[in-house]
Amino acid sequence: MEWMSQQAERFRDPRNALSTLRTRLVMAGVFVGAIIALSLSVAFSWNVGPEGGAGGGAPKLSPAAVEAFQSPPGTCLTWSNPDANDAKRVSCAEPHLFEVTSIVDIGAQYPAGVPSPSLEQWQEISRSRCTVDVKPYLGRTLDPYGKLSMNLLRPTPAQWEDGDRQLRCGLQWAGQGGKLQPTKGAAKEQDQSAVWEPGTCLALLNNSFGDPIDCAQPHSYEMIATIDLKTKFKDGYPSQEQQNTWLDTECSTAAQEYTGNADLAAKKLILSWDVREQESWDAGSTLVNCKVAAVLPENKGLAPVTGSVKVGNGGGNGDAPPSDGGGPPASSSAPKTGG
């Protein structure tokens, strides 16, 4: 969930203040679970060329990819090809896209001769079989609103025909637009907070936000700071009202430092931030982003912003379109992304 500063006078000329700067902007929080990821085909069976018995003219699965598919729990994998034909094992200390958490055999439910599950059935298998072992694997609860989500690697059609019923459950970071984001470090050592590095801009996707994009392109949010709620709230979960009160001041200070005291209102920009749910706090997710964005008239979604507001980074020239709705349509500026 995100909130906007209600102390807008720090950034606005009272004579020209946008009405949106006097209202609270509330948007849905990020939740990328297995269902969303699976629907975006992030869970996959790697395509195999003619020698592998499936995929038609698809590239042959490399020996490294075959080895990767047979990885034990605790193995981290990465790839660059959308079909993951170049998948390989890497150290979890290196950037990676998937960490195997458990191996599941569904042979009892799907014996030889039974067709491969449908997409909906794969979703249910991921929900029911992959989530069971994740808490013991992590040693803590998986944050339901955090950056990490469960998914699975399934057998190729040829492997399925040969009777292979083993699945690799694992953790990944899928952005709001569906593209997998690299992580570093073993999952049990990572902070699960759904935050981006300051300076990251997110694509504009259907008047909301998507995956990271160059700030020179029309975008939704620009992250200006990462703040740890535990530096203030050491004795337990703070209410969202308490979070908002404190973050209003902290993010305003961060905005002044990041932009060189730029007048955000003059740029038709707002200051906002994340707040954490109790479930996230209990899972150890205490980091939040401060960010800037622009809103469409009547708060009907996010408007495109072009350029960074960071001082010294292109002059801090990030600007929103005119308040009358001019500028490129929000939906047209979002790049096509996928898992």
Domain boundary among 189, 218, 252: 189
pLDDT at 199 over 80: yes
Residues 6+ away with beta carbon under 8 Å from 172: 37, 42, 97, 98, 99, 148, 149, 151, 180
Instruction: Identify the top-confidence range among 38-47, 158-167, 199-208, 214-223.
Output: 214-223
180 and 53, same domain (yes or no): yes
Are residues 232 and 318 both part of a single domain? yes
Same domain, 43 and 159: yes
Q: DSSP readout, 124-159?
A: HHIIIIITTTHHHHHTSPPPTTSSEEEEEE---HHH
Say if 268 falls within a structural domain.
Answer: yes
Mean pLDDT of 162-171: 92
pLDDT at 59: 53
Whether 170 and 76 map to the same domain: the answer is yes
Distance CA(222)–CA(318), nearest Å, equals 9
Domain boundary among 137, 165, 189: 189
Residue type, 207: N
Same domain, yes or no: 162 and 78: yes
State the residue range of the domain holding 287: 2-28+194-333
69 has a pLDDT exceeding 80: yes
232 and 174 co-located in one domain: no
Question: Across all residues in the chain, what is the average pLDDT?
Answer: 78
- Between the alpha carbon of residue 133 and those of residues 92, 171, 252, 279, the distances in Å are 19, 11, 41, 18
Residue finishing a domain among 189, 205, 236: 189
pLDDT digits (tens, 9 = 90+) for 110-156: 999 999 998 888 888 888 889 888 999 999 999 999 999 999 888 87
Asked if residue 256 and residue 136 are part of one domain, the reply reads no
Give the count of domains, the chain. Answer: 2
pLDDT value at residue 165: 92
Percent of the chain with pLDDT over 90: 55
Q: Are residues 51 and 83 in the same domain?
A: yes
Shared-domain flag, residues 75 and 12: no
Q: Which residue has the higher pLDDT, 31 or 101?
A: 101
**Residue 216 and residue 164 share a domain:** no
Residues 221 and 98 both lie in one domain = no
pLDDT at res. 60: 63
Q: What is the pLDDT of residue 325?
A: 38
339 in a domain, yes or no? no
